[in-house]
Amino acid sequence: MDIRTVGIVGAGQMGNGIAHVFALAGFDVLMNDISEDALNKAVALIDGNLERQVSRDKISAEAKAAAMGRIRTTTKLHELGPSDLIIEAATERETIKQAIFEDLLPHIQPHTILTSNTSSISITRLASRTDRPEKFMGFHFMNPVPVMQLVELIRGIATDEPTYRALLAVVEKLGKTAASAEDFPAFIVNRILMPMINEAVYTLYEGVGSVKSIDESLKLGANHPMGPLELADFIGLDTCLAIMNVLHDGLADTKYRPCPLLTKYVEAGWLGRKTQRGFYDYRGETPVPTR
Ligand code: CAA
């Protein structure tokens, strides 16, 4: 099937990046959020990120203008109804995601493919609550979406082949690379990445190293572009903790237990860059380690 119009639920970190890459690839995008303010901020952010690509000669000014012209916003979820493809990129909480799909169902087309950008929640379970588990998939982008090449495609137990093929074609049109993952907790990237981040927090918790020495070790000793604690702040410590809990609950193995120090940071509301404090304090000119 030919996918031309895309509805995106959520204008946060992931939603705005997804809108950016779809608009640039020629899709008509309608982005939804409950907050008008979040939508305005997302559009301004997309504009700034596209401008960065123009200034680095990655795209032309015309391509930027055309992409901006393809993005519309709405606070009314039902207006996403006519879309060929819907990507849910709301908060990583199952009840919220379920409620969004429930509200969408009466308004969508028979051919509409439903997807979730969840980083860890069961696709099969989300799909089973809709009227079309065969047209439901996990569509997992990495942050920052305009820069990261990979997209994980996750089939639920009922997902049919035409739906999978349609999404493969979409990923190709985006100029990205798809990795197929089976529907088990946290799929591939986060199954491997999050225990590494959690272990970095244990390394800090047990006093093996400081924030600075842990991050420097992985950057200079393993050629990672960011240290694990810096990356955790970038992803959001609440998201990291939520994913560890999904791994711990879903696989029932103590090797996935979240580090108590990670829980403490989240309890303090120190969630990383988005709240200006996490393993680093971002309120000054340069980030300062908080431990
Ligand atoms: N939009 C568009 N372009 C962007 C951008 C954005 N939001 N952010 C960065 N860029 C571009 C920059 O313009 C720059 O382009 P050029 O190469 O043309 O110069 C390039 O990306 C690199 O950016 P910077 O020079 O500003 O910074 P950097 O070299 O330090 O790289 C980074 C930044 C790409 C984020 C790099 O540090 C990195 O790769 N970090 C690891 C990111 C990562 O692991 N992401 C996955 C997280 S896990 C996940 O997302 C899954 C989940 O479910 C939690």
> Whole-model pTM?
0.94
- Closest atom of ligand 1 relative to the 189 alpha carbon: 51
pLDDT tens-place string over residues 6-24: 999 999 989 999 999 999 9
Which of 16, 32, 83, 119 is the catalytic position? 119
**φ, ψ dihedrals at 205, nearest 5°:** -60, -40
The pair of structure tokens assigned to 223 is 């050629």
Same fold flag, 5-181 and 191-289: no
Q: What is the mean pLDDT of residues 72-76?
A: 98
> Which CATH number does 191-289 carry?
1.10.1040.10
Establish whether the linkage from the previous residue to 195 is cis, with ω within 30° of 0. Answer: no
Share of the chain above pLDDT 70, in %: 100
Q: What is the mean pLDDT of residues 68-92?
A: 97
- With a cut of 90, say whether residue 2 has pLDDT above it: no
The whole-angstrom separation of Cα 116 and Cα 264 is 29
Q: Please give the pLDDT value at position 1.
A: 75
- With a cut of 90, say whether residue 288 has pLDDT above it: yes
Q: Clarify whether 140 is annotated catalytic.
A: yes
Tell me the pLDDT of the chain averaged across its residues: 97
Residue-range domain boundaries for the chain: 5-181, 191-289
Q: Please give the pLDDT value at position 154.
A: 98
- With a cut of 80, say whether residue 98 has pLDDT above it: yes
Q: Clarify whether 267 is annotated catalytic.
A: no
From 147, 148, 189, 198, mutation site for ligand 1 pocket: most ligand atoms within 8 A of C-beta: 147
The whole-angstrom separation of Cα 268 and Cα 281 is 13
How many other CB atoms sit within 10 Å of the CB of residue 212?
15
pLDDT tens-place string over residues 139-190: 999 999 999 999 999 999 999 999 999 999 999 999 999 999 999 999 999 9
Q: What is the mean pLDDT of residues 56-61?
A: 97
> What's the pLDDT band for 226 if we cut at 50, 70, 90?
very high
Q: Please give the pLDDT value at position 87.
A: 98
- With a cut of 80, say whether residue 111 has pLDDT above it: yes
Q: What is the mean pLDDT of residues 207-227?
A: 98
CATH of 5-181, one of 3.40.50.10440, 3.90.1170.50, 3.40.50.720, 3.20.20.70: 3.40.50.720
